[in-house]
């Protein structure tokens, strides 16, 4: 990837962190980088194309993190806990990026790499559950249930619905309790 394209991604990432996704405009980005409008569009067709490049990097980071977990933690339950916590931590610390990755519906035909990246992480987690072997459901079902749980937990926390009286204030406890439900 050329330097200008990588710098556009880097600056956009910073803008997302400061202003949110809605604060991104190709015009403002061009001003920030001192690039003409046509120069901007030589690197990315449009804003969505630029955001897709950022999402691809985010999936790469999350996949790398999960690979590291799978290689360094041998105990199945601890490995799945670490994966769930990695998702939770990423979602909480990278709210706007998390929304781009998991709330926005990316066109599968325009951005097949994003689909395959998301599917690849799912298969990686599924393989970890397959190795565990002591599940109440199939590895595929357990992975789907796990995804529904962790995305729900992230969304509850991001929307500030982590009330103590509902038992939603301790994500560590909730993740541990969830593992009791999927493991025999």
Q: State how far the Cα of 76 lies from the Cα of 79, in Å rounded to an integer.
A: 5
Statement: residue 47 has pLDDT above 90: yes
Domain 51-182 in the same topology as domain 1-44: no
- For residues 153-163, average pLDDT: 88
Rounded-to-integer distance, Cα 152 and Cα 169, Å: 13
CATH number for the domain running over 1-44:
1.10.10.60
Q: Which two tokens stand for residue 11?
A: 């600056």
Q: What is the mean pLDDT of residues 9-24?
A: 92
Q: Are 161 and 96 in contact (CB under 8 A)?
A: no
What is the CB neighbour count within 10 angstroms for residue 183? 16
pLDDT confidence tier of residue 169, bands split at 50, 70 and 90: confident
Predicted confidence (pLDDT) at residue 148 exceeds the cutoff of 80: yes
Q: Give 34's DSSP letter.
A: T
Q: What is the fold of 51-182?
A: Tetracycline Repressor; domain 2 (1.10.357)
The secondary structure element, H or E, covering residue 171 is helix 171-182
Tokens of 46: 């449009």
- Reference 151, options 92, 105, 96; nearest CA is 92
Distances (CA, A) of 2 to 30, 31, 42, 102: 16, 19, 12, 28
Show me where the domains of the chain are located.
1-44, 51-182
pLDDT in tens, 57-78: 999 999 999 999 999 999 999 9
């Amino acid at each position: 990837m050329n330097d200008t394209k990588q710098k556009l991604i880097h600056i956009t990432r910073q803008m997302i962190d400061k202003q949110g996704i809605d604060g991104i405009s190709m015009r403002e980005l061009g001003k920030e980088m001192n690039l003409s409008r046509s120069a901007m569009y030589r690197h990315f067709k449009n804003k969505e194309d630029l955001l897709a490049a950022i999402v691809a990097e985010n999936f790469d980071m999350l996949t790398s993190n999960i690979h590291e977990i799978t290689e360094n933690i041998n105990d199945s339950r601890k490995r799945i806990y670490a994966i769930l916590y990695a998702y939770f931590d990423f979602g909480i610390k990278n709210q706007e990026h998390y929304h781009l990755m998991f709330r926005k519906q990316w066109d599968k035909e325009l951005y097949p790499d994003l689909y395959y990246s998301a599917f690849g992480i799912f298969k990686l987690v599924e393989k970890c559950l397959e190795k565990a072997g002591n599940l109440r459901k199939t590895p595929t079902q357990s992975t789907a249930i796990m995804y529904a749980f962790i995305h729900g937990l992230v969304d509850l926390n991001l929307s500030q619905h982590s009330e103590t009286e509902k038992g939603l204030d301790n994500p560590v406890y909730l993740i541990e309790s969830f593992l009791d439900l999927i493991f025999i």
